[in-house]
Amino acid sequence: MTVMSTAADLSADQSPSGEEWLTVDQLSAAAGLTTRTTRYYASLGLLPPPAKRGRMAWYDQGHLARLQMIRALQDHGFTLQAIERYLASVPADADVEDLAVQRAMLTSWTIAGPGDLSRRQLEKYADRRLTDEEVAVIEELGMLRRTGSGKSERFTPVHGFEVAVQLLDLDVPVSGMRKAGEAMSRHMTALAEELTEILHDEVVEPIRRSPHFSLDDAEHLESTVADLRRLTIEAIVSAFQRSANAVIARSLRRR
């Protein structure tokens, strides 16, 4: 399917993919967004220009797939700026199946959480008051993203935010928390990169190269990746526990 990127008058009732055209209201409803939000995303250049018939703007399934990707990425904590940078690299004629696969890969290891919170909303989510220093520590540990400043300051908790808040209540030096956070970040980044490469090469590409690959297959792939994510995280926790036990056993033997 090719996403319409011109303002030429339409000569048919269907898009190049054979799908019916959608009004902006229909497109928004299908994506689970308000029309105002859809127009805002379009104004940022996150959607290709619609096709035109007279004064009416029309959208197809390619536009819907991009909106679904934007919503999924936002739900997983990505900022609009990051989404904008990524979508700028996606060809305007990327088909629905390809966009669905990319969405699955981009959200493969992330877990949805609240985003774009005010300071008061952040403290309500944390279920406690947070000092400026505590907010800074959580941010430094990589479990909180901050944008803007002053009254326009907004916060996006990252998966693990709740753990960081609980650590604040323990009698643990901040310096120790920082070192632990740096160690985990260093090793988890390397692990995530390697696991993502394995996921792409061993799971996604073999399915994607199938001559009969369809949108249903892409949606099934996204569901499969979500289940794989859950099992992988459980496996990582179990592997760490085994490694920790091995370290303790070695220490006891030395003593």
Q: Give residue 30's pLDDT.
A: 92
Q: Which domains does the chain have, with CATH numbers?
A: 24-93 (1.10.1660.10), 119-254 (no CATH)
* Least reliable range by pLDDT among 16-25, 129-138, 172-181, 239-248: 16-25
Tokens standing for 243? 């490694």
Q: Give residue 255's pLDDT.
A: 64
Confidence of residue 227 (pLDDT cuts 50, 70, 90): confident
The pLDDT tens digits for 32-53 are: 899 999 999 999 888 989 998 8
Residue pair 59/53 in contact (Cβ under 8 Å)? The answer is no
Tracing tokens 């260093």 back to the chain, one arrives at 186
Average pLDDT, the chain: 81
Q: For residues 85-108, b (16+ Cβ closer than 10 Å) or e, as one string?
A: ebbeeeeeebbbbbbbbbbbbbbb
pLDDT over 90 at 112, yes or no: no
* Least reliable range by pLDDT among 37-51, 102-116, 197-211: 102-116
Q: Give residue 130's pLDDT.
A: 93
Helical segments of 44-160, H only: 61-75, 80-87, 96-106, 119-126, 132-140
CA distance 234 to 214: 30
Tokens standing for 145? 């993203």
Q: In Å, what is the CA distance from 124 to each residue of 129, 130, 137?
A: 8, 10, 18
Confidence of residue 12 (pLDDT cuts 50, 70, 90): very low
The pLDDT tens digits for 48-89 are: 899 988 888 999 998 999 998 898 888 776 778 888 888 888
pTM: predicted TM-score of the whole model, two decimal places: 0.53
Burial of 170 (0-12, 13-18, 19+ CB in 10 A): exposed
Q: Distance between the two ends of the chain, CA-based, in angstroms?
A: 67
Quick check: helix, strand or coil at residue 20?
strand
Q: Give residue 240's pLDDT.
A: 86
